Structures are given as C-alpha cells and as structure tokens.
Structure 1
C-alpha cells in the first residue's frame, strides 16, 4: 500500500476511543494537560519513526525480512536482544491489541445502546454480544493491505463525528453565563490523565504491521508525521472546548455529556461505525502473530476462520467481564501501551545501531539523540508505573467495577 493509505491506517487506528475520553482527562489534569498531551504526541511520533527505521535496518542486514513478515515487531525485538525479547514483545502486543480491541468493543456497544435507547431497550451485556458477533466475519480479512477501505472509513467517520460534536459543544459554551466549575488537579488525576494521553497516541504496536504492507517502506516516517498532525487536529479542539464547556461535569465519554438531538444521534452512529472498522484494524496484528505461532497459512481458510472467531469470542468474554471501558483505558495506557509506544522503539533502535558487522553500513546515534531517546524511555517508565498504580487504585475502589455482564446482563458501563 502507498503512503496515503498508511496515513489513513495510522490516524484511523489511533482516533476513536481516546478522543471521547480527552475532555474528562483534561478536567482531571487541568491545564497541565496541554504540555502532557504535546509531549506524548511528540514522543510517540519519534518512537513511531524509530520503530520504522528499525524495520529498515532488519531488511538491510537480514535477507529473510525482505519479504512479507507476519510478526514484524517481535522480529525487531529478537534481532536486537534475542529470543527472550521476542517473547516480551509478543506478550505486550497481545495484551495491548486484545485490550484495545476490548475497549473499542465496549465503547461501540455503549454508543449503539445510546443510539437505539429512544426506540427500544436491550441490556448492555446483550449489546456487547451482538456487536462482537457482528464483527466476527470481518475479522476473517487478511493483512492491512486488504482492508484499506476500513482505514479510510474509520478516519472519515471520526472526522465528521468530531465536527458534529463540536457544533453542540460550541453552542453550549456560548450559552454559559459563568465559567464551568472544574476539578482541582491532583497527582492521581494527572497520572490517570497521562494514561489517557498515552493511549491516544499508543497505536505504535500496529505500526510495523502497517509498514510491512507498504510498497516503499522508506516513506513510513512521513506517514507517521502527517498521521500525528491529523490526530492533533482532531484531538485538541475536542479536548479544550469540552473541558472549557463542561468542566467537572464532563463524563468519561463526552458523547454522554452533550445534549440529545439529531447531531448527537448522527455523531453516535458515525463513531460506532468508526469503532467497528477500528476494531478490525487494531486486532489484526495480534491474530497474525497467533497464526504465525500455529503455522497457519497466510491465506483465507478454515484455520484462519477458527482462530479469528475464537479471538473475537475471547474479546467478547473480556468485555462482558469488565464492562467499564474507562478503567481499562487508564490501566492499559500505563502498562503495555507505554512499553510498545514509548520504551521499546528507542531502546531497539539504539541497540541495532550499536551492532557492528563488516558487511553492514555503519549507523551512528549522536549524543544528543541518545539523551533525548533515554528521556523518552525514562519518562515512559516513570509515567507507566505511576499510571498503572493510579489506575489499579481506581479500579479497586468500592463500586468502581460492576458485576460481569454474564452475571447481570443489565451491567453498567458508567
């Protein structure tokens, strides 16, 4: 696929669940949110570029990576640090991509439930099952190169939905007579917000899979830059205006905060479609790694259908067990997403550049580059620990987690 399609995948995969949680994250951290969001965006962009350069190094040095590869990120880890690192990367990938897919499924189910609630009522647990089963046949598609229309649709639906949301938010802002009351920032609130910001730019786990399907892989750097600029164009207006308008009254999902009406209904429907397409894109890398482990052919067949159907059932089960998507979002942002999006890319790049062989072109990393890369790693580690601790503390609070939906089908996601 070309650079334009790759941009669609990068922006389409990242936008969605995170954008709806940003106004609430801004309320938790106050105006500290702006430098935190900017830092996460810049660092994640640099890391995305570095993981792309890592793959180019693999192709340059080892001929076995010059064709199609179904496990590019674990392969980078293996060639940098050995088989043990491949195992670490694989574990992080499975946790991140299956976790992100669960978040997407829950949010999609929540939005569909809101859309149809004026017509008829179904328990939230049933919506999770319905949406999950509807996604199952689309899971049988192959690599990103076969699903570029899904990427285009994911970004287009999000962009239109954001415009519709902002129209309502601006109207509410103009009706304000006084400033909206806001939450006083605390260390816990800032930590939880940081987890959300990390998640918003944490799609690096799938980047090597996207790059591997490109015709000219050297153009991946520009794809990342343009993709992240597009993300900021969507994120900043929604986050700032939502925070200024609703303050501490904004919910985990801003859609639940804006007034009812045609625009809200249309935005819900569009975002539901976005999440539907994003689910297919996000989980693809995880199932490709499973198929590679099981030596399943890279072509449509009954083995692929079974593996991907079971994977979908697994995501449905996780969603039915933990129906509050906001709690998962914060925990994931501080744990496996941090590893894949911020810590491992600069670590792998510096390691690969330090390796020497007479037949390899020499690659040097300047002192200033190393300082900045280590800064990304250190901030990622510290932020990840703080976010994980705060998220776990939030999860174990009384009443924070509802009963699983298979115990109570009327389970709550709020």
Structure 2
C-alpha cells in the first residue's frame, strides 16, 4: 500500500455512489443487524448498570442529564469512527488501530493500541474477578478458594473464546448476555421498589447537584458508554453495513433506558446510602440471589466478545490466517494464542491484589479517550473539518473537552485509590 493510497482522504468525495457500491454493499456471509444490536448492548450495558445509583449519589439528580449527554456524545462519535474506516473510498480499514495509523502514523497506531488493549484485556480480567467473587458468595461454605473460582470462570470463558473464531459466532452469545442484563435490571428495580417502605431508608438524603463530585460523576457515567473497542469488529460482522448508524443509535438508546430504569428508583430509595453494585443494598432474598447468578452469566458471556476483539487484531498482526498457515495450522496457532490470552487474564486476576484500582486508572483514561477524544481527532485528520457546520464544530469541541476532563479526573481518583491500597498493604505487613 503506498502513501498516496493510504492517505488520500479527498477520494471519498469524488464518487460517493461507487463508495457505497464497493464498500457498503450487502455481505451475504455475515450476520444480521439484530445480532450486531445485541452485541453492542451486551458489551456496553454490562455490569456498569449496577453502579449508576451510586453515580447519582455522587453527583445528585443532575447525573440524569449527564447520562443523556453521554448517550448523544457516544452515539455521535461511534458514527464518526465508522466513517473513518471508509475514509478513502478504496478499502475498509480493519481496526481502530489502523484508523490511528492512517490518521497520525506510527504514533497514532501505538497510542490507540495501548488504550485499546488496556480495555479489551483489562475488562475481561475484572469480569473474571467479579465472576469468581460472586461464585464464592453463592457457595461460601465450600473449601474452594477465590483463586480456584476465578480459574473456573476462566475455563468457562475459554470455551467460546477458543471455539468461536469471529464476532459473528460470538454474537449469538451476546443475545443471551443482553437478556441477562435485562433480568438484572428487573431484579434491581424490584428490590429498590420493595425497599421504599423500609424504615431504614426513611431519612436518606437526595441532592440536585453536588459540585465537588461532578467531575468524578461525569467520568464514571461516560465510561458506561464504552463500546468503541469492539464497534469495528461488530460492524465487520454485519450483513448490511449501511445499517450501522441505526443499529448503534438503537443499541445505545436501549442501554440508556436500562440505565435510567436502574438509577432512578435506586437513588430514590437509597439516596446517599446507595452502594456500588446496587445489589449490596437490595433485600437479601431469592431475587437478589437470582441477580447474583445473572451477573455471573452476563460477565461470562460478555468477556469472550472483548477477548475476541483483541484476538482478531493480534491474529491479523501475526498472520494467523488460513491463507498463510493452512486450515489445520491456523486452527492450532489460533487455539494456542487464545489459550495464552485467557491464561494471562486468569493469572492477573488471581495474583494482583488491587488490580481493580489499577484497571480503573487504565479504564478512565482509556475509555474516555477512545470514546470521545480520538474518534473526533481522527475524523478531522482523515476526512477534515471544513465541510462541517459551525454548530457541529462546537459540538465536537464540547465532546473533546468533556472526554479530556473525564479522563484526567478519573485517572486522578484511581491514582488516589491506588495510593491508599499501597499504604494499607504496607501497614498490614
């Protein structure tokens, strides 16, 4: 590929019809838009839903407005990012990393790769920790340790991750993952409504806005819309790529409905006593146990989607393809590489004592940068900003500013938490 071919952004304007025919045509071998929809919902909604009542506790009722603003911003940047994949009208870029490389050269590739990897490997690690912890809480009378439960969760996740090659196959699992999220929301809403008559919460406080906590609230809610790490692979597995804008808008809209359904009754009931996850506040009954089981199911179904996104890029870089390796050896190399990946995630989940706060640092910085900042910068570089109207430029500027602030504040909070972890660990030795 020569430099002119890679960076000729003006060609996208020369023949729009040919772009649509060549690059946005139907892909009969791929999956439906419905599977893409469930993929996005499964990854984006996730277990972050259960932390939103606590986000309202931090910022007050204004957090509802922040949530809606995050919805509009993340939908807009998801559409811009997908346009970057087709920016030159000659071929589709393969990944977010390639978008960074075409926009800013090697530095752009490395930057996107670092942020992207921190999310697509870090989130599954946290999923394994969460699944192991919840499994242990369900059967806490057994002699099985937390580390053993984490490895059991890793073994379960490894089955679809290794046997299913692309997101087209994994997408079938995402349907059940999205349904699990819906059940989780129902459990949370039911418990919150039941506790409204609990005298324990008669004196809880509610605030309209808590200014000192507002930056942290913006950071935490913005992260709940993080799906850019898999969007390219989800769109690649769609039969009708021209439906992407509608699919991502509908999926993020559904996620927002689930967020509001959980956050509002949770904050009304528990107010300044809301915890994260909200299951900690809910009545300790059968329905809450069902919620715990659903969390386990969800994270085990969501983890392979993120891991597959990482694996697809790694396999492209290392030429683990049928054309290069042959059908049998491609399968062998792919299986071995994915076993190493799941082993790495399981090992980190078991051995790092306060990985959660470390991941919060990477998550805040990585998610906010990947969701809000980089899509706009890459779009400006690859396609240009001159054809945009003034109010679009203002909107883009607002998104970038919020993304930077969220990344910085979230990182500062994570660093403070890490410092406390280190001090506490030293004091106990």
CA contact 1:331–1:388 (8 Å) conserved in 2 = yes
**Quick one: distance in 2 between partners of 1:401 and 1:240?**
35
Residue 252 of structure 2: aligned partner:
228
**How large is the RMSD of aligned CA atoms in angstroms?**
2.6
Deviation at 1:183, TM superposition (A): 8.6
Tell me which residue corresponds to 1:412.
none
Choose from 114, 117, 131 the match for 1:91: 114
2:227 maps to which residue? 203
Aligned to 2:364: 334
- Mapped to 1, the partners of 2:127 and 2:358 lie a distance apart of 11
Q: Any conservation in 1 of the 2:354–2:421 contact (CA below 8 Å)?
A: no
- Answer with 177-186 or 151-160: which moved more: 177-186
Q: State the TM-score, normalizing by the size of structure 2.
A: 0.84
The more displaced of 314-323 and 232-241 is 314-323
Q: Determine the C-alpha separation between the residues in 1 that align with 2:37 and 2:159.
A: 25
C-alpha displacement of 1:168: 1.4
Aligned-partner Cα distance in 2 for 1:189–1:126: 38
| Cα displacement (A) at 1:184 | 10
Matched, 1:215 2:245: no
Unmatched runs of 5 consecutive residues or more in structure 1? 356-362, 409-414
Deviation sequence 1:280-310 (CA, Å, 0-9, x none): 1112111222222221116761111111111
Distance in 1 between the 2:80 and 2:111 partners? 19
Q: Counterpart of 1:385 in 2: which secondary structure?
A: helix
Find the residue that maps to 2:383 and give its secondary structure.
helix
Structure 1 counterpart of 2:390, from 361, 367, 379: 367
Q: How far apart, CA to CA, are the structure 2 residues paired with 1:43 and 1:337?
A: 13
Residue of structure 2 equivalent to 1:55: 85
Match status 1:37 vs 2:60: no
In the alignment, the residues of structure 1 paired with residue 181 and residue 384 of structure 2 have an alpha-carbon distance, to the nearest angstrom, of 41
Q: Could you say what secondary structure the match of 2:223 adopts?
A: helix
- Give the distance between the partners of 1:73 and 1:88, measured in 2 at CA: 11
Give, in whole Å, the separation in 2 of the partners of 1:29 and 1:286.
Answer: 34
CA drift of 1:15 comes to 1.4
Task: State the match for 2:124 in structure 1.
Answer: 101
Paired residue secondary structure (2:60): helix
Partners of 1:228 and 1:274 lie apart in 2 by 18
How far off its partner does 1:244 sit?
Answer: 2.0
Question: CA-to-partner distance for each residue in 1:6-34, whole Å, 9 max, x for gaps?
Answer: 11111111112211211222212222322
CA contact (8 A) 1:327 1:391 kept: yes
Query: Is 1:18 aligned with 2:48?
Result: yes
Q: What's the CA shift string for 1:172-196, capped at 9, x where partnerless?
A: 0133472424699766643333332
Aligned equivalents of 2:60, 2:338: Cα separation in 1: 41
| Change in 2 beyond 3 A, CA 1:79/1:398 | closer
Report what 1:165 is aligned to.
188
CA distance in 2, matches of 1:253, 1:328: 19
Q: Size of the alignment, in residue pairs? A: 390
Q: Is the 8 A contact 1:196 1:330 kept in 2?
A: no
Equivalents in 2 of 1:366, 1:290: separation in Å?
39
Unmatched runs of 5 consecutive residues or more in structure 2 = 1-30
Structure showing greater Rg: 2
| Contact in 2 for aligned 1:157/1:270 (Cα 8 Å) | yes
Give the match's secondary structure for 2:284.
coil
Instruction: Give the match for residue 15 of structure 2.
Output: none
Which one is further off, 16-25 or 189-198? 189-198
Matches within 5 A, 1:350-389: 350-354=380-384, 364-389=387-412
1:56·1:217 contact (CA, 8 Å) conserved in 2?
no
Q: 1:187 to 1:334 in 2, by over 3 A?
A: farther
Which residue does 1:285 correspond to in 2? 309
1:252 aligns with 2:244: no
What is the alpha-carbon distance in structure 2 between the residues aligned to residue 259 and residue 400 of structure 1? 34
Q: Secondary structure at the match of 2:287?
A: helix
C-alpha separation between the residues in 2 aligned to 1:181 and 1:122? 41
